[in-house]
Chains A and B, each alone.
Chain A
């Protein structure tokens, strides 16, 4: 049985790479670091389903938590503000712990 590469609390970053065609990593998160908030489960790969392919093997989907102040220049909201986004495992890389 396939195991998730990351666990809750792991520091991760969204890969900073391009991709021709449909993919599930928004531009504003590419290259940004956060931490795994939840391992949601394994699903058929939507980037292959989008081209009428089976999308197998299934791939793990994570809820990743980012600090808003890490995402936006001159963010003036409360320092504790976070943003969570659902990101598939193949878009995540291990990152340095932020402490």
Chain B
């Protein structure tokens, strides 16, 4: 699998003001303030928060979990499509509600999807079409 070029952005943002019509700029805020915004805790940044009891029971991995893990290894170690750091970044960018409720490998597969689209391997439309096709094929009454 070759790493293809990123697709061109769909649209360019509208220009808000031309150089000529722009009003004189206000003085920039002090640089120190710009560089040092107050720390905010990301939804993933849980260190030190109460976490409740830890479930130490082992469970057998489901086929879904094993496949996601395998996909991760193939895309990183074998093909170098992305680095684990960027997968981590993608997962941290999930909406807070998703981050809290998705299971471990569900977060991974969402991150992997973002990586495939960002790196131009697949488009969202291609992924959605494939998911729809698989759902249709598995629906009751679908031709065998």
Contact = CB atoms under 8 A, between A and B. Distances in A.
A17 B37 CA distance: 6
A28 B50 CA distance: 12
Interface of A is mostly: loop
A16 interface: yes
Nearest to B42: A27
Interface string A56-94: 000000000000000110000000000000000000000
18 contacts: A17-B35, A18-B38, A18-B40, A19-B39, A22-B85, A28-B47, A28-B48, A30-B39, A49-B86, A50-B83, A50-B86, A50-B88, A50-B89, A51-B89, A52-B82, A52-B83, A52-B118, A71-B48
Contact of A18 (B36, B85, B86): B36
A73 to B, nearest CB: 10
List of 3 A-B pairs having minimum Cβ-Cβ separation, nearest first: A22-B89, A28-B48, A50-B89
Interface residues of B, number: 21
Given A17-B35, A49-B83, A27 B89 contact: no
The SS class assigned to the B binding surface is loop
Interface string A1-32: 00000000000000011110110001111110
B107 to A, nearest CB: 14
B45 interface: yes
A59 B122 CA distance: 33
A16 B88 CA distance: 22
A78 B70 CA distance: 43
A37 B55 CA distance: 32
B25 interface: no
A31 B38 CA distance: 11
A31 B39 CA distance: 10
B39 A52 contact: no
